[in-house]
Chains A and B, each alone.
Chain A
Amino acid sequence: MQLPFCTQALISLIREVVNLSHTLISLQNITKSFNGEVVIDDLNLNIHENEFITLLGPSGCGKTTMLRIIGGFETPDSGSVIFNGKNIINLPPNKRQLNTVFQKYALFMHMNVAENIAFGLKIKNKSDQYIKDKIKYALNLVNLDGYENRKPDSLSGGQQQRIAIARAIVNEPKVLLLDEPLGALDLKLRQDMQYELIRLKNELGITFIYVTHDQEEALTMSDTIVVMNQGYIQQMGTPEDIYNEPENAFVADFIGESNIIASTMIRDRLVEILGAKFECVDTGFGTNKPVDVVIRPEDIDLVKPSEGTIQGIVTHLIFKGVHYEMEVTANAHEWLVHSTDMFPVGTEVGIHVDPFDIQIMNKPESEDEEAVGVEE
C-alpha cells in the first residue's frame, strides 16, 4: 500500500526529529596526526541511537583511526568525543560503555569459547548463574548453540567472527564498534554475515558503528554512510542519497561504477556533455560553468542511432551474469554501459539518458575530492 506523498514526508520528518533529539555520540573537531602526517582533519560527526552508521573509504582515509578514537585506543590531538553528554576523551577503553569487534577477531586463544564470552562479565563480577545464562543467550543469538567448550582454533573464520561478536554484545554496550570484521571471510559467507549483523542490530536495538572499504557492504547494511577520504568527511547520507546523488567525483567514483565526464552547465536544467545538449533536473550551478557530470552505467539506454542524443559504436562486450557490460565510444569518450540487452561489438548505437539520472557535481576543490584512478 503506497501512502500518499505528504504522509511519507511527514513520517520521514518525524523520524528525523526523533533522531535529532537522540544524538548518542558527538564527535567535535577531531584532529589526529601520526609522524607528522595528518590522518584526521577537523572531523565533526553526530551519531544517533539505534543507528547503523558506516565509515566508508579507501585505506588510509582515517576511518579505522576514527573508530579507535571512539573506542579509546587512540587519543586525538584535539577535539572532543561527547558520549551521552559527557566528554569521554580521557576515559580509558575499559571504562567506556561501548565494545569493539576487532578485525582479526582477537579471540583469547588460550581460553575456550565460554571463557572468551564470559570475560567481560567476570570483570564486572557478575554471578555464575548470570554468566551462564548470558553465554547461552549470546551463543543462541549468533546461532552457535552448544559451542561453549570448543577452543577458538578449532573454529572456522566465520564461527570465530560470531564468537567475537557474542563476546562483545554480551556486555550490553550502548554502542558496538566493528572494525572491518568481515574482511577475512569469503564472498558467500560475507553476504550471509551481513544479513546476520542487520538482524542482530534490530534484535539488540543498539547503535552499530561499522568501518569498511567495501562499498557494497556499506550500501547493504547501513542506515547512514559516511564517506571519508584523506581524513575528512566527503559526504554523509543514506545509501540511496550517496549512490544516486554523489556530491563530488570522489564519492561518485568510490560508490558503484560511474561515468564521470567534464561538462558545461549551460543554464538550469540544461547541460552540455561532449558537445551535445542534455536535459537534466539540477539547478543552481550557474550559467556556462564547468561542472562534472555523473551517469551510472545502468542508467544509460542504448537505442537506435537516430533516437539517441549522441551516437557511438560498441567497442567491448562482457557477459557479467546479472547484466552485460559494454563500452561504447561516442563523441571521443568511452562510456561504460550496463544493460540486460546485448549489443555485439561494432554495432552503431545511440545514447539516451533520462534527465532524472544525470547528476551534476561541482568541480573538485582539492585533490581529495577527485575521483580515484579516473582518467579524464
Chain B
Amino acid sequence: MKIKLQKIYIGLIFILLYAPIVTLVVLSFNKSKTRAKWGGFTLNWYIELFQNDQIMSALSTTLIIALLSATIATLIGTIASIAINGMKRKWRTFYLGITNIPMLNADIVTGISFMLLFIAIGATFGFTTVLFAHITFNIPYVILSVMPKLKQTNRSTFEAALDLGASPVYAFFKVIFPDILPGVMSGFLLSFTMSLDDFIITHFTKGPGFDTLSTKIYTEVKKGIKPEMYALSTLLFLSVLLLLFLVNRSPRKASMSLKEI
C-alpha cells in the first residue's frame, strides 16, 4: 500500500516536471501554428530553424562564450584553489568569502553591478563584456568543485614525491593534479552549463545586436511565439538528455557534478 502511494507520488511529480517539455516537443512537429489544434506531422519548423540566421548565430555565440569562459574560469579558479588551500585560516576565509558573493547574490544584482562597471569604464557592450561577466560568475563554481578535492588529497603523497627526488612543480603535475582532475573537470562542466543557461547576467551586459541563445529566445518570445522555438527546445532537450546519459556512463563524474550544485 505504502509502496503504491509512493509510486503514484513520484509519477505525479514526474508528469509535472515533464509535461511542459513534452508539450513543446509535440508542438515542434505540429503543422498548424496554433497551439490548440493538431494540423499534422511536419519537420518544417526544424528546417526553418536551421535557416534562421539570427538564431543560428546566437547559438554559435552562446557555445563560444560558454567554452571560452569555462576554460578561462577553470584556469583561474584551479590556480586560485591551490593558492587558497595553502593559505592561513584568516586569508582563506577572506578569499572564500569573496568567492561566495556572486553565488549568494541574486543574479539581477550581479548583472546590474557589471553593467554599472562597464558603463563607468566606457566599455562597448558586446562580446567582451559578456565574456568577462561569464568568467567572473563561473570562477566560484570551479573553486567550489576543486577545493574539496584538494582537501581530500593526501599531503603525504606530495611529500612522498618530494622525498623520491621530484621538484615541487614536477610533483604537483604528476601527483596532485591527477588527483584533483575530477574536481577540475566537474568545475569545467559546471561552468559550461551555467554559462549556456545564463540569461539575466547576459541581459545586462550585452549590447544591442549581440545575442546569446537565451536573450534571443527572450526577444522572440516577447514578439510572439514562433514554432521554430519549439523545434529549438526539442533539440536542446535531446542534447541535454544525450549529455547526461553520456556523463552517467562514468558514474563518478555524474555524482560529483550533481553534488557540487
Q: Do chains A and B touch in the complex (CB under 8 A)?
A: no
Residues of A within 8 A of B (CB): none
